Structure 1
Amino acid sequence: MNYDQKLASLRARKLRQTREKIEREGVLDEDDYGRIVPPEGLWKIRPNHPDGSFYGFDAWTDNFCSLMAVHPVYVDPDDAFAGRWMYFMSKMRPNKWNPAYPYDHLKADIARYDIICGIGDDAHFAPDYRMGLELGWGGLLEKIAACRKLNPSPGQQHFYDLHERAVRSVQGWIGRHIAEAERLAAEEPDAGRRDNLLAMAQVNRNILNRPPETLREACQWIVWYHLASRTYNRDGAGAQIDALLRPYYERDKALGLTDDEAVYYLACLLINDPVYWQLGGPDETGRDQTSRISFLVLEAAGKIDTSLNITVRVHDGLDPELFRAAVACLIRYKNGWPRFSGDKALVEGFMRNGFSAELARSRIAVGCNWMSLPGLEYTMNDLVKVNMAKVFEVAYDELLASDAEPSTGALWRGFERHLGRAVHTAAEGIRHHLKYQKYNEPELLLNLLSHGPLERGRDVSDGGAEYYNLAIDGAGLAVVADSFAALEQRVEREGRLTWEEVTRHLRENFEGEGGVAVRKLLQTAPRYGQEDSPGESWALRVRDAFVAAVRRETEPGRVFIPGFFSWANTVGFGLSVGATPNGRKAATPISHGANPVPGFALDDASLSLATCIARIQPGYGNTAPMQWEIDPSLARQDNAELIGAILRTHFRMGGTLVNVNVMDRETVLAAHENPEKYPELVVRVTGFTAYFSMLSPRFRQLVVDRILEN
């Protein structure tokens, strides 16, 4: 088999494995992941608490090491790399927070404002893969031994004991794959596959203790680390993959490596798990990082064309050929990859926190909406969200229940006050998490590739990180802005409705007499997304209030950074909110991230979208992504320059991240009705891509509505 045939075989096998996950485990409204279904009954968690869950360093280490000892091996003779992950340890626990550290004092406001507080949630920050490649597993053990001598307290010694156990358990897992590859090679009749299996065994033998030296060894090392980290607590953060692998590629190239072979290795890395990898963008000095391997990563992605999370970072110095190649991939494959981040606003925004330009340029896109300094910061990106639509509802109900004369001015004062309280509650949740997370879910794997935890003998959540730049995202921006605008326009300016009439129709969910007409009137008020409209003015006002509330929480050693992102929580957030004055019905999804409500545009939708989201950016280095749905009639190669121009214009105006879908409406509708007939259809749900067939009906509907209404 040639490389293309091998990759076709791997792609077909991934589709079968995805179908098996759906049949055995049901739908998953998250990233696709590279996880496959494990054998039944092989391993179960080992609780250390009466609630059936496990907490703390010892229990996590015991569970992880016991799993590594029995975790099934996975060796495919067509793959360049051994290994797949099967168990989702953090999701196998019946309870995610240690009840010994309650946060009852926060629960009332968490419920009142429908806050996703992040307490006890899995890691959302990035390891430094470069450190791992430079040290290897043996080097990490040596580092543990060296740091152990510097921190002699009994607690720190125990800390090092547990991390050493974790590393050795991973080495044992690798060793069993070496044996399996050699066993399969002895039985393999095909000479090509036999040679590949023997080479796979040798690659893994080489990296069992020493650092990788070749491109294949480096990719295999990365695979093992992210498989172990995924198994532990689903860490999926990636790296600047072209810069990370460039030295190995160039060294091997000088020794005879062909680009076809390199593409095969890269494709096998990408299909192993859709980790978030970045291409292009500046290094810390501002120099573009594009190289030959950047293009090979895109070529490899095209060979497998599966669920992928590749980001191209756009800056003034970006190689224009890489940008054109990335846009061409978006148009050609129509599977939601790559996406694009904007360097100018991200760097300038992060510097407003007091950081240098060099450090700001090192903060890369490695998650759904989030940036991170690899190995340097603890962030809680995409874990903490304030449902601003719920905050609006609380303020509205309070105003109407009071004796005060209702007005948008009075409503705004109540909204701003409740928004501040909601943000403070979210920040207090973060503080509680940081205080006790080491007793709940310590970062055994991510500590290894972070700067500080081993050196200090402290978990990365507990003072081990260099920086604590903590994210709080606002959700429902457009619902709130359009609701204020509709009340201002239809009630206060035009007098076509009264506060009492609006309230009655909200309580009736627009289903009583005259409800349809009133709803239409509210929906057609000037909205966020329409330039110089009341909706845009209110959106900017909400933005400023949210940013100010988040920034007020900053304290010595902890920077709180605002963003606008709802992830896929638009559905869940919507369930808690009744009908709203923008014409949205009760329990329906809230607006997506920083996007206007679909159907907002009076002129060109794409340009209006790019303009309004660029203006609404929170401005401190976290993103407010633009979710862009492109019809295939526009997504043609002869329109590549236009698509590229819109992307670049958005970033010049201050945009930070663009997630793109190229979706045919008829195909999406047909797949929504019969998802099993479209097993290869990939959509960008939000910051992540997924097989459409793996999404639940309500999440498929979310994607359908977004596409149909734009």
Structure 2
Amino acid sequence: MIAKDFSEPTARVQRLKKSIVDATPQVESERAVLVTEAYKETEGLPPILRRAKAVEKIFNNLPVTIRDDELIVGAITKNPRSTEICPEFSYDWVEAEFETMGTRMADPFIIPKNVANELGEAFKYWEGKTTSDLASSYMSQEVKDCMDAGVFTVGNYFYGGVGHVCVDYGKILKVGFRGVIEEVVNAMEKMDTSTPEYIKKQQFYKSVIISYNAAINFAHRYAKKAKEMADLESNPTRKEELLQIAKNCQKVPENGATNFYEACQSFWFIQSMLQIESSGHSISPGRFDQYMYPYYKNDNNLSKEFAQELIDCIWVKLNDVNKTRDEVSAQAFAGYAVFQNLCVGGQNEEGLDATNDLSFMCMEASAHVKLPAPSLSIRVWQGTPDDFLLRACELARLGMGVPAMYNDEVIIPSLVNRGLTLRDARNYCIIGCVEPQCPNKTEGWHDAAFFNAAKVLEITLNNGKVGDKQLGPATGDITTFTCMEDFYSAFEKQMAYFVKYLVEADNCVDIAHAERCPLPFLSALVDDCIGRGKSLQEGGAIYNFTGPQAFGVADTGDSMYAIQKNVFEDKTLSLQDLKGALDSNFGHSVGCKDTSVNDNADAITEAKVYEAVKKILGETGSIDIAQVQDRIGAMNGIGSTTNYENIRKILDNTPSFGNDIDAVDLVARRCAQIYCFEVEKYTNPRGGQFQAGIYPVSANVLFGKDVAALPNGRLATEPLADGVSPRSGKDQNGPTAATNSVAKLDHFVASNGTLYNQKFLPSAVAGDKGLMNFASVVRSYFDHKGMHVQFNVVDKETLLAAQREPEKYNDLVVRVAGYSAQFVVLAKEVQDDIISRTSHAFS
């Protein structure tokens, strides 16, 4: 037998997990009150010193909470799986949802009445003072019009703090926070006080010292709390555990760790403090198996069983971190996603395989805990041991959507192409969903925007218009186009127009964060902020990027190919017929995909006839009865002279991306490249380059509502394809054909990450043969230069049963996009999107 079962978690880990699963997420007010008090007390100070004083206030006063059974301590909130509010970034959306956040469709949070009152009082201070307010003031009306129309959104950093970073955990494990303070003091002593840079550098250094002294005190408060609890504890085993916790917290992270338990506690303090400083998500642990391994390897008093339990405890703690968003963003990030990506395996800086015992133990922890966090990722290359990849496939077929798998052979050269040294590129980790970066040297600004490529195509098909509004440039009435190059030329012009405003929006938000909310605690953990004497938000990192991501690539490619095939090659359809069908949503009412044409036919009223005649005369100066009939049909959602449903069937039956057909796949590749090449033309305020990604979170469902009917036969408002995946149900030639199609996209230029979801029936990957086939699909896809793949291994019947009886399926975790989530907490439309994905088997 090749396959081997995962062990069972300890009773402690099971109890800790239950406390997370059973928790009702709540909003808490302590951080919001404390940060508001701090800002009121520091009026007139430079922004970065105000931030430091705010961090000091929070670390010195946030409630200290140690939960039952914990071996690793440090909590952001009093209640499990709850969240604090960070009003310095934005607040009005919270206030607007005081009465509704607990019952909304996606990611509800309870807001107790007293908490709402405390938050409401704190919010009074922040009017006009948030990063969101400042960013909005910088944006042109054109940018706002694009966002209102659903072309793109920059809500991630617009409303929240900056995240998407991996800091130098290993540095703190070695020298502690005290070592950071000493490094800053040394830098201050070497400064030339006569240079203009001296003033701002001095402020930055002071802010770091203030922040890190407060962080040391935060840990010491936990040491004191643990000692107090131990004094009252009657159970001798738990008493001893609390005393050890107190000893750990008194030592780390102030000083370097000397054993694995101290390293684990130090790691968690860093992770939780980063979350406390700002509301940024995707604070990613990175290559945990690399920087933690020396403490595991050299700890002679450590049993493997206890080491595994400590890792399991960290995995549970990662699920204690939660975040609330506004109602619309919550739908895009459905599933209480926090995106703490933890990466194992791959190469080291020398290009040698880096797999070690902790690489396997991290996979074991995910099998034990079976919760969405961390977003476990593995790196795969030609030198990856077979037993490591097979173990990863064993974990994947448990059905939780982890690990996601990444291809060193694509990512390393793509990062070198962006200016990283080879050693730094080899050391990459994954941030957030699927974004590669060099850890502790990068401010990547990943996930900087959702860009709706399918919406841009829709606008192209309508000569730059959305409804009656001329949103983009006039690029021509498509019924006058004579070849596919006319379509590509128009699409490229529209893409250039909207990417330009996307860049403006991102840069407005970027500047606002640098001016109002620099983050000294975070900055000191990324090179070379201390050396340069400036925060991460001001360009202190060695590598600076901005990474907006597109979705709807398969929809765009399939639509372009459908026009090419049916209009210009086979001449089955005319452009006039196609345009009429699209304008009428193929004769369907918007949002009613199962309704037939005839069922939706309204009576042709005198008023509608008059309206149709008036519009046609105004547009053309002449009229005939066919035009009137067509116009009335479009008003009614029917086609009176054209069978729009038959047109839709022709388009829907056109070969699609995902079946290893070059003619189709290369069209999708070209459409994706048009976006990527346009994005990379631009630079950001931190002196770095924009780089494109192609991944959706779950925005393909939410922003599909903004897209009208498309030439691939898709009806208006339906979900778009996720990431670089084929459209749901369209990849019909098996898993290898699907991966071959996806690999034909130019993943090297999408260096901010690409995301490919694939779903297998459990029976397909069962047993040793299924496991070997599973691993072979991964190897084959990566040999063909795909960047990333992740799997759901679950049957449709289980998902449907979980929809019917959610109380019986609390433990069901699925892969949504670049993250996993409990299936039962997802909005139904996101659940439906996951259910509709093709379930593959091996023929």
In the superposition, the TM-score normalised over structure 2's length comes to 0.77
Which residue pairs with 1:300 in the alignment?
Answer: 365
CA–CA distance in structure 1, aligned partners of residues 275 and 207 of structure 2? 18
Alignment of 1:4 with 2:10, yes or no, is yes
Distance 2:60 2:831 in 1: 38
3-state DSSP of counterpart to 2:353: coil
Shift, 1:166, TM fit: 2.0
Q: Residues of 2 paired with 1:572 and 1:58: CA distance?
A: 39
The 1:77/1:202 distance shift into structure 2, 3 A limit, reads farther
Look up the match of 1:94: 91
Distance 1:518 1:282, change over 3 A: same
Secondary structure at 1:465's aligned position in 2? coil
Report the Cα distance in structure 2 between the residues aligned to 1:171 and 1:346, rounded to whole angstroms: 37
Map residues 106-255 of structure 1 onto 2, 5 A cutoff: 106-111=143-148, 114-117=151-154, 120=158, 122-151=162-191, 152=193, 153-231=198-276, 232-235=278-281, 236-252=283-299, 255=300
Cα offsets for 1:255-302 (capped at 9, x unmatched): 231100110111111111053111110001011111122222222222
Aligned residues: 685
Q: Secondary structure at the match of 2:790?
A: strand
* CA distance in 2 between partners of 1:288 and 1:388 (Å): 38
Matches within 5 A, 1:249-288: 249-252=296-299, 255-273=300-318, 275-288=340-353
SS in 2 for 1:634: helix
Structure 1 counterpart of 2:363, one-letter code = L
Deviation by residue 1:660-684 (Cα, 9 ceiling, x = unmatched)? 1112211211222343332111111
Alignment of 1:423 with 2:485, yes or no, is no
Deviation at 1:358, TM superposition (A): 1.6
**Whole-Å Cα distance in 2 between the matches of residues 644 and 627 of structure 1?**
15
1:617 deviation in Å? 3.0
Q: Is the 8 A contact 1:181 1:197 kept in 2?
A: yes
Q: Deviations over 1:135-171 (max 9, x none)?
A: 2121122222222334453333222232222222222
Select the residue among 696, 713, 723 that pairs with 1:583. 713
Q: 2:785 aligns with which of 654, 665, 675?
A: 654
Q: Which residue of 2 aligns with 1:411?
A: 487
Distance 1:418 1:148, change over 3 A: same
Rounded Cα–Cα distance in structure 2 between residues aligned with 1:542 and 1:343: 25
What is the alpha-carbon distance in structure 2 between the residues aligned to residue 629 and residue 473 of structure 1? Answer: 23
Render the CA deviation track for 1:675-708: whole Å, top value 9, x for unaligned: 3332111111111111223322333233233367
What is the CA distance between 1:378 and its match in structure 2?
A: 1.4
Alpha-carbon separation, structure 2, partners of 1:40 and 1:432: 30
Q: Structure 1 stretch 665-674 or stretch 153-162: which is displaced more?
A: 153-162
1:541-577 deviation per Cα after TM superposition (whole angstroms, max 9, x unaligned): 2133223212333599423322211222112321221
Matches within 5 A, 1:502-651: 502-510=578-586, 511=588, 512-513=638-639, 514-553=643-682, 557-604=687-734, 606-620=735-749, 621-638=751-768, 639-651=770-782
- Does structure 1 residue 15 correspond to structure 2 residue 15? no
Instruction: Give the Cα–Cα distance (whole angstroms) in 1 for the partners of residues 479 and 9 of structure 2.
Output: 74
Q: Please give the alpha-carbon distance, in whole angstroms, between the structure 1 residues aligned to 2:659 and 2:9.
A: 50
Which letter does structure 1 place at the counterpart of 2:263? A
> Partner residue of 1:393?
458
Q: Secondary structure at the match of 1:585?
A: coil
Distance 1:619 1:568 in 2: 23
For 2:31 and 2:252, the matched residues in 1 are separated by 31
Give the drift of 1:366: 2.9
For the pair 1:699 / 2:830, whether they are aligned, the reply is yes
Q: Structure 2: how far apart are the matches of 1:89 and 1:459?
A: 23
Structure 2: any 5+ residue segments left out of the alignment? 1-7, 78-82, 93-129, 320-339, 464-474, 589-637
Deviations 1:558-607 (A, max 9, x none): 23322211222112321221111111111222211111111222421x11
Partner of 2:531: 455
Aligned counterpart, 1:28: none
In structure 1, what is the equivalent of residue 73 of structure 2? Answer: 82
Listed as ranges, the matches of 1:26-37 within 5 Å are: none
Change in CA separation of 1:223 and 1:354 when aligned onto 2, cut-off 3 Å: closer
1:676 alignment partner in structure 2: 807
Q: Distance in 1 between matches of 2:292 and 2:425?
A: 22
Distance across 2 between alignment mates of 1:296 and 1:415: 48
430, 447, 450: which is aligned to 1:365? 430
Cα distance in 1 for residues equivalent to 2:732 and 2:539: 51
| Aligned counterpart in structure 2 of residue 374 of structure 1, from 439, 442, 466 | 439
Greater mean deviation of Cα atoms: 402-411 or 118-127: 402-411
| Preserved contact between residue 55 and residue 439 of structure 1 (Cα < 8 Å) | no
Specify whether residues 685 and 68 from structure 1 end up closer, same or farther in structure 2 by C-alpha distance, changes over 3 A only. same
CA distance in 2, matches of 1:146, 1:702: 55
1:46 maps to: 36
Structure-2 separation of matches of 1:559 and 1:170 = 33
1:98 is displaced (CA, Å) by: 4.5
After TM superposition, the structure 1 stretch with the greater mean CA deviation from structure 2, 396-405 or 344-353, is 396-405
The reply to whether residue 66 of structure 1 matches residue 63 of structure 2 is no
Comparing 94-103 and 570-579, the one that deviates more: 94-103
Distance in 1 (alpha carbons) for counterparts of 2:420 and 2:202:
34
The equivalent of 2:515 in structure 1 is: 439
Residue 537 of structure 1: SS of its match in structure 2? helix
Whole-Å separation in 1 of the counterparts to 2:662 and 2:404: 29
In structure 2, the CA distance between the partners of 1:318 and 1:466, relative to structure 1 (3 Å rule), is same
Structure 2 residue corresponding to 1:289, chosen from 351, 354, 358: 354
In 1, the alpha carbon distance for the partners of 2:559 and 2:545 equals 32
C-alpha deviation, 1:44, in angstroms: 6.1
Counterpart selection for 1:687 from 806, 815, 818? 818
Deviation at 1:233, TM superposition (A): 2.4
| Secondary structure, counterpart of 1:317 in structure 2 | coil
TM-score (norm 1): 0.90
CA distance in 2, matches of 1:357, 1:76: 44
Say whether the 8 Å CA contact 1:490–1:497 is kept in structure 2. yes
Which of 397, 406, 412 is the matching residue for 1:347? 412
Change in 2 beyond 3 A, CA 1:362/1:191: same
Give the Cα–Cα distance (whole angstroms) in 2 for the partners of residues 445 and 554 of structure 1: 26
CA distance in 2, matches of 1:637, 1:334: 15
Q: How far 1:119 moved relative to its partner?
A: 5.5
Aligned to 1:34: none
Q: Return 345-354 or 281-290, whichever deviates more.
A: 345-354
Distance 1:557 1:55 in 2: 23
